Amino acid sequence: MSIQTICRGELEYLRAEGISVPHCFTTRLGGVSSGSQASLNLAVGRGDSLENVERNLRILADALEFDPEKLVMTHQTHSDLVRAVTAADANGLCHRNYPDCDGLVTDTPGVALLVFTADCTPVLLHDPVTGAVGAVHAGWRGTVGEIAGKAVDAMARCYGSRPEDIRAAVGPNIGPCHFETNADVPEALEAALGPWVWQWIDRREGKYFPDLKAINAEILRLRGVRNVEISDACTYCDPRRFWSHRYTRGERGSQGALIVCKEVRR
């Protein structure tokens, strides 16, 4: 199975073959925003108007056929905090009062979960047995905190999901080709996760280049998730399709990783 690119007119997004509910990793293509936020910007706070962002979210809602009034978003703090949410947590298209967290899980049919990225690693989760879904934003600090694994734990604890039933997809991020760090990042990864992380950390000219997609995928596998699809897209390498915080030096919009909970047919 693989991560596929879907084009609907000007709208372009990625989806995982192994996840059967509506979901996507967005690109920057297919929206109404302009300037450095052109065009499918999904987050406020960098100069775009609320009107533009709401129109972009409705474009996604139409394409994926979900109710935008049942959308739950996040106020991301690069934490390892995962929140279990229901329809009562949905603010729809309102960009205020996000829950403070970097991961969301739910088993409420109709609820859509959205996390934001622009170099960090997005992870989507789906349990076809219980219907539970999850969405995770994993920067390097969230990766150190094993937030993707903690989302799996939350799905097991809250909804009875078995890790071996969960389908996972790891979306576009800044790859090891351009994610340059000092020693503090790999040292924190090793201290939290173990020496196995070094198989996915390159060292060149005194700098370190972690592969956070591979490390997050291994965190999921160590939790018992057997089906993990990984995008090969790098946000830095393809600025036409993706925003990269590093490439643009902060002059950017935000991509999203979105997944919709659907009722399980028994």
pLDDT 10s digits, 41-63: 999 888 899 999 999 999 999 99
Q: What is the CATH number of the domain that holds 67?
A: 3.60.140.10
Q: Is residue 86 part of a domain?
A: yes
Q: In angstroms, rounded to a whole number, what is the distance separating the alpha carbons of residues 259 and 184?
A: 33
In a domain, 264, yes or no: no
Asked if residue 30 is part of any domain, the answer here is yes
Please count the structural domains in the chain.
Answer: 1
Is a pLDDT exceeding 70 seen at residue 7?
Answer: yes
N-to-C CA span, the chain: 25
pLDDT above 70: residue 169? yes
Q: Tell whether 265 is covered by a domain.
A: no
Pairing of strands 227-230, 201-204: unpaired
Residue 209: inside a domain, yes or no?
A: yes
- % the chain with pLDDT above 90: 92
- C-alpha distances (whole Å) from 199 to each of 186, 194, 223 are 11, 11, 19
**Domain coverage including residue 25:** 3-258
Whole-angstrom distance, CA of residue 203 vs CA of residue 190: 14
Quick one: pLDDT at residue 99?
78
Rg over alpha carbons for the chain, rounded to the nearest Å, is: 17
- Is the residue at 173 inside a domain? yes
Q: Say what the pLDDT of residue 1 is.
A: 66
